[in-house]
């Protein structure tokens, strides 16, 4: 009866697959435990707490508004951190441009006159956000501020038993202004106005470049080790450094080509700008690729099969999506889980790409240094290990 | 090499091997699968560190080969380890470049070496699309491309048909005649015949190291004669003949006789047979096959160990 042979054959395949899996404990670990550990770390490390907006209040000279930061801190609540109250606008703007603060609220210079003219007094809220989510949060905060100020004014007026707001004659106030004497207008000073597509495109590019670098190197070295091709290198006069430089150069060129093609498509088909200098952007691409290749080499040197190398590369991708700031801001993770983010090249890659492409300059240029340092450390480690492999530690 | 040994955990893959190979010869490392040939070869190429003992190739320890020395060494691994997605020409050119050969010379040399191994007409074909025999020849071309002085060849004939095996040995002989030194491993014991020197290995130990002729003599303890008679005969008929070291019965009318001097022994054997068992139908020099030599050596080695 042929039908009875069916389970025999299926069971044979199951047995074979299981045995293959179990004889590669490293692969099983990375396959099963890897995602579990990522989930666990995510659960433990994610706080969900938004970073308060560092805010400066600009009160024009001669106005009645309070100069006490505590007053504004009480009005703004925990979503903002009042850094100072000042009469000067230029200073805070410079700080905003440097990224030291994230919001400036400018009180209206002629609130009374505006109200007398029957107009709402306008609070100008200045931000410098590329991130559409943060921009949205800034708008909500601005609206909240305006509402709280309105509420404060109305309460104050009621408490004082007046029929007018401040010293404005009652006849001058339009009825609809009694509840909302002020309104907030948000002005985003970022050179590129935030949108999901614009903001995430550089991040996707950084993630793609890191994954490309990791996967290609990890597979290339593992394949050469397992196929025996490494013996060709072992016998030949080539040194570990020459071999590494050759591999790095190849993938750096590939990374640049991918970055160039992606940026070209992004700019021409999707309207995503490269506001910064192309040469600096190229340096950022090379540094991200350099660091990513190091991660790939590390994977290739600890993997005992192509399967494991692929799994580890996918695991790094998973970790990158969760922890690098690609989806959730890095600062919403607590230490030591946040340290994972700071160890990933893509964390810096995303930030640097977004700043160079969308802002036109890299505010946190130290990140380029970190990328270079990660790359250099991994390169040195890989060179040492590869030297051992080539010259017969086996 | 002197007292070379290599251990993998509890397994002693190569044990106390001492031998010296002169320049310009083909030295065969011969033995069955698992006898330690490849381990020995890998130690000589510097890809595997010996656990103990001393090895020298071109006057240097393989472990500390300088780049210049590596440029004079060629290695053809047992398995096909070149790149399947590269063409035959690209593979050989890649290896040539690894050995530091400049583009202009490389282009000419790659063509030459592919022609030498008979792959010139498929030089643009991907390595993965070549037959097993072609892949072996491609590997040989890659090992030869930089014109090494010393060539380590691991199982060049494994998996090849007898015609191709013959061609490979012809090519190896030509290289030796060119002044190169070749160390060739083979599990086909019979191929020892093609070597100038033979190191017989079994269980990681060196059983014998000599020329093929010396090995035969060594195994039988002298010159060997194959005696066939016209009537039934036993080994006893030669009992009184002087200078015979051994007489073995091989069938009812055939004797294998070992003598210190075959020329002097021949008339005495004819006379002794004529006295008791009719006449000698033929008497000629006997060349035992290397399978036979190897079997005897292994058995003798086992007996010595047991004793």
Q: Distance of CA A351 to CAs A246, A371, B73, B132, B134, Å?
A: 28, 11, 50, 52, 52
Distance of residue B220 Cα from the nearest chain A Cα, in angstroms: 40
Which pLDDT does position B194 carry in this prediction?
A: 87
ipTM of the complex model: 0.77
Residue of B39, B47, B71, B139 to mutate, testing the A interface (most A Cβ within 10 Å of its Cβ):
B47
User: A227 vs B81: CB contact, 8 Å cut-off?
Assistant: yes
Contacts of B67 in chain A (CB under 8 A): 237, 239
Which pLDDT does position A300 carry in this prediction?
A: 83
User: B81 vs A228: CB contact, 8 Å cut-off?
Assistant: yes
B128 CB within 8 Å of a chain A CB: no
Give the tens place of pLDDT for each residue, B137-193.
899 899 988 889 999 998 888 777 788 788 788 888 888 888 899 999 988 888 888
A227 compared with B95, residue with greater pLDDT: B95
Structure tokens given for B26 = 């083909």
Instruction: Residue B138: name the closest of B164, B163, B166, B162 by CA.
Output: B164
What residues have CB less than 8 Å from A299, skipping those under 6 apart?
A214, A217, A218, A309, A312, A313, A316
Cα–Cα distance for residue pair A178/A159, rounded to 1 Å: 15
A208 pLDDT higher than 70: yes
A329 pLDDT higher than 90: no
Answer whether A55's CB lies under 8 Å from A76's CB. Answer: yes
Cα–Cα distance for residue pair B5/B229, rounded to 1 Å: 49
Which pLDDT does position A285 carry in this prediction?
A: 87
Answer whether A372's CB lies under 8 Å from A205's CB. Answer: no
Distance from the Cα of residue A150 to its chain's centroid: 35
Residue from the list A238, A239, A392 with its beta carbon closest to the beta carbon of B47? A392
Give the H/E segment covering residue A332: none
B10 pLDDT higher than 80: yes
Concatenated DSSP letters for B254-297? EEEEEES-HHHHHHHHHHHHHHHSS-EEEEEE----HHHHHHHH
Residue from the list B45, B48, B100 with its beta carbon closest to the beta carbon of A237? B100
Q: Which residue of A has its CA nearest to B44?
A: A235
Largest CA distance in chain B: 77
Instruction: Residue A111: name the closest of A177, A163, A162 by CA.
Output: A177
A29 pLDDT higher than 80: no
Give the tens place of pLDDT for each residue, A51-91.
888 888 888 887 777 788 887 888 777 888 888 888 888 88
Looking at the DSSP assignment, which residues form a beta bridge with residue B246?
Answer: B258
Cα–Cα distance for residue pair A141/A118, rounded to 1 Å: 25
Give the tens place of pLDDT for each residue, B197-247.
999 888 888 888 888 888 887 777 788 888 998 888 888 888 888 888 888
Looking at the DSSP assignment, which residues form a beta bridge with residue B277?
Answer: none
Which pLDDT does position B217 carry in this prediction?
A: 78
User: A232 vs B142: CB contact, 8 Å cut-off?
Assistant: yes
Neighbouring C-beta atoms of residue B263, cutoff 10 Å: 9
- The verdict on whether omega for the bond into residue A336 sits within 30 degrees of 0, i.e. cis, is yes
Instruction: Residue A205: name the closest of A130, A310, A280, A288 by CA.
Output: A288
Cα–Cα distance for residue pair A350/B159, rounded to 1 Å: 53
In which residue are the tokens 């890649």 written? B94
Distance of residue B11 Cα from the nearest chain A Cα, in angstroms: 15
Cα–Cα distance for residue pair B64/A199, rounded to 1 Å: 54
Give the tens place of pLDDT for each residue, B15-63.
888 999 998 899 998 888 888 888 999 899 888 888 988 899 988 888 8
Residue A195 gets which letter from DSSP? -
Cα–Cα distance for residue pair B151/B155, rounded to 1 Å: 13
Q: Give mean pLDDT, residues A113-124.
A: 74
Burial class (CB in 10 A: 0-12, 13-18, 19+), B97: middle
| Distance from the first to the final alpha carbon of chain A | 52
């Amino acid at each position: 009866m042929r039908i009875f042979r069916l389970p025999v054959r299926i069971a044979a395949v199951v047995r074979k697959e299981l045995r293959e899996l179990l004889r590669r404990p490293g692969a099983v670990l990375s396959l099963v435990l890897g995602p579990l550990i990522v989930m666990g770390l995510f659960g433990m490390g994610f706080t969900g707490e938004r970073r308060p907006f560092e805010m400066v209040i600009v009160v024009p000279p001669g106005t009645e508004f309070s100069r006490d930061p505590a007053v504004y801190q009480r009005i703004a609540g925990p979503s903002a951190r009042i850094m100072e109250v000042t009469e000067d606008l230029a200073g805070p703007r410079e700080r905003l441009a440097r990224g030291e603060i994230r919001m400036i609220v400018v009180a209206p210079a002629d609130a009374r006159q505006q109200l007398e003219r029957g107009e709402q007094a306008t609070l100008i809220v200045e931000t410098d956000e590329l991130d559409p989510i943060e921009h949205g949060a800034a708008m909500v905060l601005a609206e909240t501020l305006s509402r709280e100020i309105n509420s404060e004014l109305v309460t104050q007026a009621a408490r004082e038993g007046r029929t007018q707001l401040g010293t404005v004659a009652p006849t001058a106030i339009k009825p609809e202004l009694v509840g909302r004497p002020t309104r907030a207008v948000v002005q985003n000073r970022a050179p590129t106005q935030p949108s999901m597509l614009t903001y995430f495109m550089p991040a996707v590019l950084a993630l793609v470049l890191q994954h490309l670098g990791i996967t290609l190197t990890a597979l290339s070295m593992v394949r050469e080790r397992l196929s025996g091709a490494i013996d060709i290198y072992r016998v030949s006069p080539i040194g570990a450094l020459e071999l590494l430089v050759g591999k790095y150069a190849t993938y750096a060129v590939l990374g640049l080509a991918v970055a160039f093609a992606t940026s070209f498509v992004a700019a021409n088909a999707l309207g995503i700008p490269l506001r910064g200098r192309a040469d600096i952007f190229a340096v950022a691409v090379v540094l991200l690729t350099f660091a990513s290749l190091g991660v790939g080499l590390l994977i290739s040197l600890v993997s005992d099969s192509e399967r494991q190398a692929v799994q580890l590369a996918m695991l790094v991708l998973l970790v990158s999506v969760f922890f690098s700031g690609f989806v959730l801001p890095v600062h919403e993770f607590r230490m030591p889980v946040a340290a994972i983010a700071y160890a990933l090249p893509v964390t810096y890659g995303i930030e640097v790409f977004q700043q160079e492409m969308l802002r036109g300059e890299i505010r946190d240029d130290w990140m380029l240094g970190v990328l270079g340092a990660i790359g250099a450390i991994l390169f040195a480690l890989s060179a040492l290990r590869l030297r051992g492999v080539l010259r017969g530690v086996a | 090499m002197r007292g070379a040994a290599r251990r993998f955990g509890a397994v002693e893959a190569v044990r106390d091997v001492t031998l010296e190979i002169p320049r310009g010869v083909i030295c065969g490392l011969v033995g069955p699968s698992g006898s330690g040939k490849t381990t020995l070869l890998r130690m000589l190429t510097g890809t595997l560190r010996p656990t103990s003992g001393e090895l020298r190739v071109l006057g240097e320890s393989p472990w500390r080969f300088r780049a210049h020395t590596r440029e004079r060494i060629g290695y053809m691994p047992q398995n096909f380890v070149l790149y399947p997605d590269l063409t035959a020409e690209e593979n050989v050119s890649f290896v040539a470049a690894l050995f530091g050969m400049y583009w202009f010379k490389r282009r000419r040399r790659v063509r030459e070496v592919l022609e030498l191994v008979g792959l010139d007409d498929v030089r643009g074909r991907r390595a993965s699309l070549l037959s097993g025999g072609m892949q072996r020849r491609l590997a040989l071309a890659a090992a030869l491309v930089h014109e090494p002085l010393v060539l380590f060849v691991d199982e060049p004939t494994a998996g090849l048909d007898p015609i191709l095996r013959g061609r490979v040995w012809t090519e190896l002989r030509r290289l030796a005649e060119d002044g190169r030194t070749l160390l060739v491993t083979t599990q086909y014991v019979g191929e020892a015949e093609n070597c100038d020197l033979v190191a017989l290995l079994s269980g990681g130990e060196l059983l014998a190291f000599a020329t093929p002729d010396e090995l035969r003599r060594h195994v039988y303890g002298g010159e060997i004669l194959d005696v066939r008679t016209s009537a039934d005969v036993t080994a006893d008929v030669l009992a009184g003949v002087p200078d015979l070291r051994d007489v073995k019965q091989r069938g009812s009318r055939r004797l294998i006789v070992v003598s210190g001097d075959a020329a002097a022994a021949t008339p005495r054997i004819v006379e002794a047979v004529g006295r008791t068992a009719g006449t000698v139908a033929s008497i000629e020099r006997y060349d035992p096959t290397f399978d036979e030599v190897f079997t005897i050596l292994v058995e003798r080695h086992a007996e010595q160990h047991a004793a």
